[in-house]
Structure 1
Amino acid sequence: MTTEKRFSQIAHNYPSFQEINPVKLNAYKWMQSRQQDDNAEGLWRVHDTLYDLTEFINWHPGGADWIKLTKGTDITEAFEVHHINYAKAEHLLQDYRVRDAKLPRNFKFTFKETGFYRTLRRRVAKKLKTLNVKQAELMTKVIIDVLLAVTFLTSILSAKFDNRYIMALSALCMCYTVISAHNFFHRRDNFRMFYFNLSFYNYREWRISHAMSHHLYPNSIHDLEVTLFEPVLCWIPSQVKTLGQRFASWIYSPIIYMFIMLDQLVKRIVFSFTTKTNLFQINDLVPLAVPLAMLIFGNPNPFTVFKMWLQIILANSFIFHLIGLNAGHHHPDLVHDGDKIREDLDWGIYSMDTIMDNSDLRKHHFLALTHFGHHALHHLFPTVDHGILSSLYPVLFETMDEFEVELEAYPWYHHVYGQLRQLARNTPKTFDSLEKLRRKQIQKKID
């Protein structure tokens, strides 16, 4: 994090988590800061109404975590985005209504009935009824289960033959398994979400840092997938960026990619000891399944197994972050906090202005699932399986044309190059995405 006191254009209140030492900042600390900032008065807030969902926690179809973790916060964006059948969810919510909120909402986003997001959501809900959803979901399950099996098989063989080439293949398969598991932790509780924990990341923490923070407030200082990397990697344009942060990061960032997953384990241990708050859960033992299998079926030498497993984890971490941090958000053409944003703060429009799709992935189920593909549609409808998203583009493009929204799609190398340029960018943009779109339309007419 930087030393400047930063306010966000998408919220009224100064984010209290900015005062937390970056070394001690984590998903749970971020959620605690939301309890201070959101004007939810210790309850659950949706728009301007307060609800007490205590009795609903264990009845929630998506699982108890989504409700437990968000107590005392404003869940408006999460509630809107995670319920495509919004009318049904809203009707059920009224059973837990307490009263109107005393203070205005912190976040400025709107969800007007005739606005971009709600219009698109209605059309998507209608489109989904015409698709073979179960078949697409089954294919996704087959892909991730096969990836998991191959991960274990190659890890065992890498230990058995002490072979680095098999180790590299195992790391790639583990990475693809973990990324694919991200498709499942966005949804109701299921056993495949635990695959994500192979990486030393924890699906429960990522439901906060990724699903509730990054997905809902992308490219802002409220986005933990931006702020947790500061001051080492700084994508928010700022005049206080040093030359090292702007350009040396091009060199040291690949090294950082390798150690991020191990860093998660170290931070969890350090935090638990220094705060006397145990962050460990039983599912944090999932990563040990791989070396245990390597030891039992591959090689009885614990030193060889540990050496090979460590290399798998480091390589997995590198590939995961090479893909994830270049997946479609950090590019000079996209909106980041500090840039001029549109006057229309429809949540869907803002999200679209922060996302760039990968044109290499649109037609391939496997590639999209394993490389965070269909990025815009996934942000807008995170509970929809990746295998279905490709069928929603006609509806998306129709609605985009109607509301003058743009979505650019470029090959993977353009994303990598753009991400490096964004690290170097220190000057906020003075024109918004709508102005940029109109400039392009004018230029096309001239050409």
Structure 2
Amino acid sequence: MAPKTEKFEDSNENDLMLTGFRHYPTDRNLPNKSPHTWLNGKRIDDDVGPYWRVHNKLYDLTDFIDKHPGGKDWLKTTKGIDITEAFESAHISTGAEKLLSKYYVKNISTPRNSPYTFHEDGFYKTFKRKAQPVLKKVGRGPSWSMVLIQDSIVLTFALLLISAAATGSHMLAVIAGVLLTMTGFCAHNFFHQRDNWRMYYFDLTLFSSYDWRITHGLSHHLFTNTIYDYEISSVEPFLEFLPKRNKSTLQRYGCYIYEFFFVSVLQYVEALKRICMILFGKQEIRPENLLPIMELLLMATIASSFSIASRLWLEMHLFCSASFIFVGLAVAHHHPDIYHAGDAMREDRDWGLCQLDAVRDRVEVTGNLFLVSTTFGDHALHHLLPTVDHSKLSYLYPVLLETCKEFGIPFRFMRQWDLFIGKYRQLANITPNVIPAGYINE
């Protein structure tokens, strides 16, 4: 099936060309979209056959899947896809490029669907070169502080879960939901890295670390706030973050009210979709998918009845879903001054610069590892180098600011309140920015 080229769903003035991509994402508008429909659509749009594309070359990594240091799932899921952005952001040194040459198949002349560039003298490649000696000195993996924070949160969550079941306390179930939210935020740091057992803490929520490696790691992180960002399309039409001129009044302002119901059930919806995919044979069940069921069974053995345990378990995950999504949507990516598909893009399509256009960091969080790890902090650096542990990102601020200064890029922090209000301003926004986001108010 040939990739589609169609109008961006908005108006005649705001068409596909403004998004920067050559094709409108296949299956983006399916009502039952999932990580797997996103991958299948990407395969159609990238059209590289049974290979992996990096820049303008095709590689056959089939024999390397089981040898991949990051884990075989990263390569198994991306077969038949242009992985240029994923390859560049995951590998900081040049070792991976040398290894890649062993699996070279041929050059490809078809232009990439993605608009992003990775020139050797560009912003992103320059930043990576400057980051290499810093990371060689401090390392890329988690510090003992990061491990202590993650494990302590999970232990506290487990104790609260047991206490809630033993006492039948709804308040303890809600507090357990708060700790479960923090567990998910923190574990997100680990599933970006090579396979490790702490990444499965994320599966204690009703979300899936495997699915999120696709929808968050391969989609949102690489194509932030674009039409290929699953985290944008998955909440539509209830939450319309793109500046479409045809938003209804209900979408623009009614979301202030119905958002709270929507975010409360979203984890349940994703879990039900995953169960349906498994039942219909479109997805294999994974051992970590059973962790929420194990929570329920544990609570049932402690509580006075299965009915009470079920209610407490549902309340816990309801609050986790509400707080996880509500916080996640308000901390980094949504404000009228931040790039969203339909806004004017900068002429220099360097991937690193476009990432900075689509994210803002908060002054209240930076510098505090606990807040960074539990509320998506140091987010610009995390997007630029997602496989670097959160505990090592602070070492890279001098390098980032130096590179920004070299390229004349204004790097900004925002206050959390401005981002919170900005999220609702963006939901109501129907006017695309005509000035690239990196230069607004300059």
The reply to whether TM is greater than 0.5 is yes
Distance 1:304 1:103 in 2: 59
Q: Which moved more, 1:400-409 or 1:212-221?
A: 400-409
Structure-2 residue corresponding to 1:349: 353
RMSD: 1.7
Q: Tell me, yes or no, if structure 1 residue 31 matches structure 2 residue 43.
A: no
Distance 2:110 2:47 in 1: 6
Q: Tell me, yes or no, if structure 1 residue 53 matches structure 2 residue 61.
A: yes
Structure-2 residue corresponding to 1:277: 282
Letter in 2 for 1:203: S
The correspondence for 1:69, drawn from 63, 77, 80, is 77
- Cα distance, 1:41 vs structure 2: 2.6
The correspondence for 2:224, drawn from 218, 230, 238, is 218
Letter in 2 for 1:409: F
- Cα distance, 1:104 vs structure 2: 1.7
Q: Is the 8 A contact 1:39 1:104 kept in 2?
A: no
Structure-2 residue corresponding to 1:112: 119
1:330 alignment partner, SS class: coil
1:99-138 correspondence runs (5 A):
99-131=106-138, 137-138=143-144
2:143 alignment partner, SS class: helix
Q: Is the 8 A contact 2:51 2:58 kept in 1?
A: yes
Q: Tell me, yes or no, if structure 1 residue 41 matches structure 2 residue 49.
A: yes
Structure-1 residue corresponding to 2:98: 91
Structure-1 residue corresponding to 2:300: 295
- Cα distance, 1:265 vs structure 2: 1.5
Distance 1:82 1:222 in 2: 19
**Residue deviations 1:86-121 (CA, integer Å, cap 9, x gap):** x10000000000011141211121101110000001
1:165 alignment partner, SS class: helix
- Cα distance, 1:130 vs structure 2: 2.9
Q: TM-score, normalised to structure 1's length?
A: 0.93
Structure-2 residue corresponding to 1:21: 30
Letter in 2 for 1:43: Y
After the TM superposition, which parts of structure 1 deviate over 6 Å for at least 4 consecutive aligned residues? none
Q: Is the 8 A contact 2:190 2:199 kept in 1?
A: yes
The 1:145–1:435 alpha-carbon spacing in structure 2 relative to 1, beyond 3 Å, is: closer
Structure-1 residue corresponding to 2:391: 387
Distance 1:184 1:207 in 2: 11
Distance 1:34 1:108 in 2: 15
Q: Is the 8 A contact 2:19 2:227 kept in 1?
A: no
Q: Tell me, yes or no, if structure 1 residue 11 matches structure 2 residue 21.
A: yes
Letter in 2 for 1:129: K
**Residue deviations 1:371-405 (CA, integer Å, cap 9, x gap):** 01000000000011101111211111111111122
Structure-2 residue corresponding to 1:314: 318
Q: Is the 8 A contact 1:404 1:434 kept in 2?
A: no
Q: Is the 8 A contact 1:49 1:101 kept in 2?
A: yes
The 1:349–1:270 alpha-carbon spacing in structure 2 relative to 1, beyond 3 Å, is: same
Distance 2:118 2:78 in 1: 20
Q: Tell me, yes or no, if structure 1 residue 378 matches structure 2 residue 382.
A: yes
The correspondence for 1:259, drawn from 257, 265, 280, is 265
- Cα distance, 1:412 vs structure 2: 1.9
The correspondence for 2:180, drawn from 174, 177, 198, is 174
**Residue deviations 1:239-264 (CA, integer Å, cap 9, x gap):** 11000010101111122111111111
- Cα distance, 1:279 vs structure 2: 4.8
**Residue deviations 1:97-148 (CA, integer Å, cap 9, x gap):** 00111412111211011100000011111111232666x5222112111111
Q: TM-score, normalised to structure 2's length?
A: 0.94
Unaligned segments of structure 1, at least 5 residues: 441-447
1:103 alignment partner, SS class: coil
Q: Is the 8 A contact 2:356 2:438 kept in 1?
A: no
Q: Which moved more, 1:197-206 or 1:284-293?
A: 284-293
Distance 2:274 2:205 in 1: 14
2:359 alignment partner, SS class: coil
The 1:74–1:177 alpha-carbon spacing in structure 2 relative to 1, beyond 3 Å, is: same
1:222 alignment partner, SS class: coil
Distance 2:10 2:69 in 1: 42
Letter in 1 for 2:358: T
The correspondence for 1:369, drawn from 360, 369, 373, is 373
Distance 1:321 1:265 in 2: 14
- Cα distance, 1:200 vs structure 2: 1.3
| Percent identity of paired positions between Structure 1 and Structure 2 | 37
Structure-1 residue corresponding to 2:156: 150
Unaligned segments of structure 2, at least 5 residues: 1-7
Letter in 2 for 1:27: P
**Residue deviations 1:422-445 (CA, integer Å, cap 9, x gap):** 000011111113543xx53xxxxx
Q: Is the 8 A contact 2:140 2:388 kept in 1?
A: no
Q: Is the 8 A contact 1:159 1:299 kept in 2?
A: yes
Letter in 2 for 1:15: P
1:69 alignment partner, SS class: helix
**Residue deviations 1:215-269 (CA, integer Å, cap 9, x gap):** 0000111000001111110000011100001010111112211111111122223
Structure-2 residue corresponding to 1:204: 210
- Give aligned pairs, total: 431
- Cα distance, 1:190 vs structure 2: 0.7
2:106 alignment partner, SS class: strand
Structure-1 residue corresponding to 2:4: none
- Cα distance, 1:16 vs structure 2: 1.3
Distance 1:278 1:392 in 2: 39
